Structure 1
Amino acid sequence: MSSGVVPAPECRDAFAELKMSKTLKYITFKINDKKTEIIVDKTSSDPDYETFLKDLPPDACKWAVYDFEFTHEGSPRNKLCFYSWSPDTAPIRAKMVHAASKDALRKTLDGIGADIQGTDSVEVSFDVVLEKVKRFK
């Protein structure tokens, strides 16, 4: 099911900057006020995971890409993680449009290593995400 909401070109540009230049740590995306386009909400170079989590509001849906760094079997690694944040407390209509628009954004982001679904802070906690990214080779 498609919502008709499309990603703005700036979404692909910000993702390319995060992926290629490594100057960004994460990007958050949202649907614009007219409900016609997915836009970049915020970019950040702050490496603190807790800071990133604070940009996922408790009552609004967002998407994000985070450059998740971790150590696995003694080696430093990183995965670009795509987050679909849809908290239980968000309005139902917003959650429906968010879910229906996810694929349009996700298809423009080539090179994602893991998909993370979150409805509460536990599902996107560092340890939970770490277990998910370790499963992907």
Structure 2
Amino acid sequence: MNVGTHVSDDCVTEFNKLKLGKQYRYLTFKLNTDTNEIVVEHVGARESTYAEFVGHLQNESRYAVYDYHAQTDDVPPRQVEKLVFIFWSPDANQPVKQKMSYAAGKEALKKKLNGLSKEIQANDPSEVEEAEMRKLVLN
């Protein structure tokens, strides 16, 4: 097992740019299996759409943080902003060892990223549809 999954310092640096600096809309992270290190894979521009984010999820496991903004249905509506951690682990076409490595590294990454509000663990594209994200953030 990957007891010693290491989180790259860049992960924390870029996360803080997203959280505090509001420089990005989302980040995706991948596990470098050669070095057993979690690294930043993609940085989503602040004006990126949710659909663009979903397009960056591969047919392999990934971690992501999305700065999601939604308006409530209240009168008057309120603006809600949450940092959502997404653990994407698609069921199809992925070696079991890889899925286990990602599962083992998830907590190491989450411990380094302070300020996450919600979490999604998704194995199917339907679980990362925007309607699901909105429901999670507003509840």
TM-score if structure 2 supplies the norm length?
Answer: 0.91
Deviates more, 1:1-10 or 1:101-110: 1-10
Match of 2:26 in 1: 26
The gaps in structure 1 that reach 5 residues or longer are: none
Moved over 2 A (4+): none
RMSD: 1.3
Q: How many percent identity over aligned positions?
A: 34
Match of 2:50 in 1: 49
Where in structure 2 are the equivalents of 1:92-107 lying within 5 Å? Answer: 92-107=96-111
State how far apart, in whole Å, the 2-side matches of 1:32 and 1:19 are: 24
State how far apart, in whole Å, the 1-side matches of 2:111 and 2:12 are: 10
Aligned length: 134
Structure 1 or 2, whichever has the larger Rg, is: 2
1:35, distance to aligned residue in structure 2 (A) = 4.1
Match of 2:122 in 1: 118
Match of 1:85 in 2: 88
1:47, distance to aligned residue in structure 2 (A) = 2.5
Residues 40-97 of structure 1: CA deviation (Å, up to 9, x unaligned): 001111431000001011x200000000010012111210000000000122111111
SS at match of 1:31: strand
The gaps in structure 2 that reach 5 residues or longer are: none
Match of 1:65 in 2: 65
State how far apart, in whole Å, the 1-side matches of 2:35 and 2:90 are: 19
Match of 2:138 in 1: 134
State how far apart, in whole Å, the 2-side matches of 1:35 and 1:96 are: 16
Would you say the 8 A contact 1:25–1:47 is kept in 2? Answer: yes
Would you say the 8 A contact 1:3–1:97 is kept in 2? Answer: no
1:33, distance to aligned residue in structure 2 (A) = 4.2
1:3, distance to aligned residue in structure 2 (A) = 3.3
TM-score if structure 1 supplies the norm length?
Answer: 0.92
SS at match of 1:122: helix
State how far apart, in whole Å, the 1-side matches of 2:81 and 2:60 are: 27
